[in-house]
């Protein structure tokens, strides 16, 4: 009994310490003067990439040096990610395609149609360590006026380039992320204000769709996961949930965030794209990355 009491006390202390760490965070602005920032991803070469969608740019931020243009005429790039080989993937909303940057500097299209019809507007993307990738295809604003598909989709592409549709939600899917072991796929639904989870096997096939988190404050957008499995969701603020769907903290911000990504050499800094600015928060936990 005494051992069990000590264990319970340690669990309570650990939970209180975690809550205290979230309460004592410091939010720092690292970039400003933009129009609508999205799609942050950290490169292992020591810089952050993020999109300024209305300005049709992908921007590079180097800590201690500031920002500069990385890709002009980006075709309305929104979400970005890297794979285990260090290749950059982007979701181009204007050309309605998912692309990958080749070593020669050219962009190759991985997906632009489903059953002969153009995609709506690929939004966010994640690539697993083994090369399987998933992306969301909603339609916001003017994108909805030019749709050829009569549904919103979540898609999977194998390392061989084979594409399949894994979900047709009623609301618009948005942010997407994987659990640390790469076996659970998380998808934000902005209209339903929830996070859906899917089991994904070694072949990338999805099953057991369920709603993990409901009634999020504000439409959820980007998602990231730390090494403990906690989810970081951009919504009205930055909401942090356990892997079981329990809310740990809603962090208020001066601008509504759209997406986030773990970065710096130890992946213990969370970079947050929020409307006209980019912010960062130093944490005591590492982010889970698949590359």
Q: Residue 186 pairs with which residues in a beta bridge?
A: 177, 197
What is the pLDDT at residue 27? Answer: 97
Conformational region of residue 242, where left means phi above 0, alpha means psi within -120 to 50, and beta covers everything else: beta
| Alpha-carbon gap, residue 149 to 119, rounded angstroms | 7
pLDDT of residue 16 exceeding 60, the answer is no
| Alpha-carbon gap, residue 213 to 209, rounded angstroms | 12
Cα 193 versus chain centre, distance = 16
pLDDT in tens, 82-131: 999 999 999 999 999 999 999 899 999 999 999 999 999 999 999 999 99
142 — pLDDT class (breaks 50, 70, 90): confident
pLDDT of residue 15 exceeding 90, the answer is no
Q: What is the DSSP string of 41-58?
A: EEETTTEEEEEETTTTEE
Sheet-wide strand order for 66-72:
37-43, 47-52, 57-62, 66-72
Q: Where are the alpha helices (DSSP H) in the chain?
A: 2-23
Distances from the Cα of 24 to the Cαs of 37, 251, 281, in angstroms? 26, 11, 10
- What residues does each domain of the chain span? 27-282
Distances from the Cα of 6 to the Cαs of 2, 21, 137, 253, in angstroms? 6, 22, 49, 38
Q: What is the DSSP string of 88-128?
A: EEEEETTTTEEEEE-TTS-EEEEE-EETTEE-S----EEE-
Give 27-282's CATH code, choosing from 3.40.50.2000, 3.40.50.1000, 2.120.10.30, 3.40.50.10140.
2.120.10.30
| Alpha-carbon gap, residue 233 to 122, rounded angstroms | 19
pLDDT in tens, 184-221: 999 999 999 999 999 999 999 999 999 999 999 999 99
Residue 232: strand, helix, or coil: strand
DSSP for residue 226: B
What is the pLDDT at residue 22? Answer: 56
CB 112 within 8 A of CB 100: no
């Amino acid at each position: 009994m005494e051992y069990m009491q000590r264990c319970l006390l340690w669990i309570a202390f650990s939970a209180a310490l975690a809550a205290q760490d979230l309460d004592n965070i410091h939010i720092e602005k690292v970039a400003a003067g933009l129009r609508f920032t999205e799609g942050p991803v950290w490169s292992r070469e020591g810089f952050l990439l993020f999109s300024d969608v209305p300005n049709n740019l992908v921007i590079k931020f180097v800590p201690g040096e500031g920002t500069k243009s990385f890709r002009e005429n980006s075709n309305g790039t929104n979400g970005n990610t890297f794979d285990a080989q260090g290749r950059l993937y982007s979701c181009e909303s204007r050309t309605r395609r998912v692309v990958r940057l080749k070593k020669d500097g050219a962009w190759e299209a991985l997906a632009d149609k489903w059953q002969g019809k153009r995609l709506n507007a690929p939004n966010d993307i994640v690539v697993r360590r083994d090369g399987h990738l998933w992306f969301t295809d909603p339609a916001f604003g003017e994108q909805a006026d030019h749709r050829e598909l009569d549904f919103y989709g979540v898609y999977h592409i194998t390392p061989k380039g084979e594409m399949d549709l894994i979900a047709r939600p009623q609301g618009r899917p948005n942010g997407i992320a994987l659990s640390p072991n790469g076996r659970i796929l998380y998808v934000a639904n902005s209209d339903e204000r929830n996070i859906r989870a899917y089991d994904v096997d070694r072949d990338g096939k999805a099953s057991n769709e369920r709603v993990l988190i409901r009634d999020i404050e504000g439409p959820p957008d980007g998602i990231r996961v730390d090494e403990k499995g906690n989810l970081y969701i951009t919504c009205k603020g930055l909401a942090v949930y356990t892997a079981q769907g329990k809310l740990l903290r809603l962090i208020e911000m001066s601008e509504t965030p759209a997406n986030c990504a773990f970065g710096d050499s130890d992946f213990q800094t969370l970079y947050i794209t929020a409307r006209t600015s980019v912010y960062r928060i130093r944490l005591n936990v590492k982010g889970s990355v698949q590359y």
